[in-house]
Chain A
Amino acid sequence: MSHQYQAIGWNRQKRFYDLTVIAGVVIYVGLFVGLSAFFFPYATAETMLIRATGSAAFLLLHVVLCIGPLCRLDSRFLPLLYNRRHLGVLTFLLGAFHGVFGIIQFHSLGDKDPLVSLLTSNGNFRSLPDFPFQQLGFFALLILFLMAATSHDFWLRNLTPPVWKSLHTLVYVTYALLVGHVTLGVLQSETSPVLAIATGVGLATVLGLHLAAAQRERRVDGTKLKAVPEGFVDACDVHGIPEKCAAVCSVNGERVAIFKYDGKISAISNVCRHQNGPLGEGKIIDGCVTCPWHGYQYLPDTGASPPPFTEKVSTFRTKVVDGRVWIDPKPNPPGTRVEPSRIQASEMRA
Chain B
Amino acid sequence: MIQPLRKTHRAIFLVLAVLLPVLFLSGIAFRHSWPGIKSDQVRLARARR
Contacts and interface: CB of A to CB of B under 8 A. Distances in A.
Interface of A: 128-129, 162, 165-166, 169, 172, 175-176, 179-180, 183-184, 187-193, 196, 199-200, 203, 207, 210-211, 214, 217-218, 221, 253-255, 269, 271, 276
A292 to B, nearest CB: 15
A191 B38 contact: yes
Interface string B1-29: 11101101110110011011101101110
Summarize B's interface: helix, strand, loop or mixed: helix
Interface of B: 1-3, 5-6, 8-10, 12-13, 16-17, 19-21, 23-24, 26-28, 30-33, 35-39
18 contacts: A129-B32, A162-B2, A166-B8, A169-B8, A169-B9, A179-B20, A188-B27, A189-B33, A193-B35, A196-B28, A196-B35, A203-B24, A207-B13, A210-B13, A211-B17, A217-B6, A255-B2, A269-B1
Contacts, number: 88
A191 B13 contact: no
B36 to A, nearest CB: 6
Contacts of A211: 13, 17
Contacts of A184: 27
B24 A128 contact: no
A187 B34 CA distance: 10
B25 to A, nearest CB: 9
A12 B2 CA distance: 31
A166 B33 CA distance: 40
Given A129-B30, A129-B32, A191-B38, A214 B3 contact: no
Contact of B30 (A128, A192, A255): A128
A104 B28 CA distance: 28
A7 to B, nearest CB: 28
B4 to A, nearest CB: 8
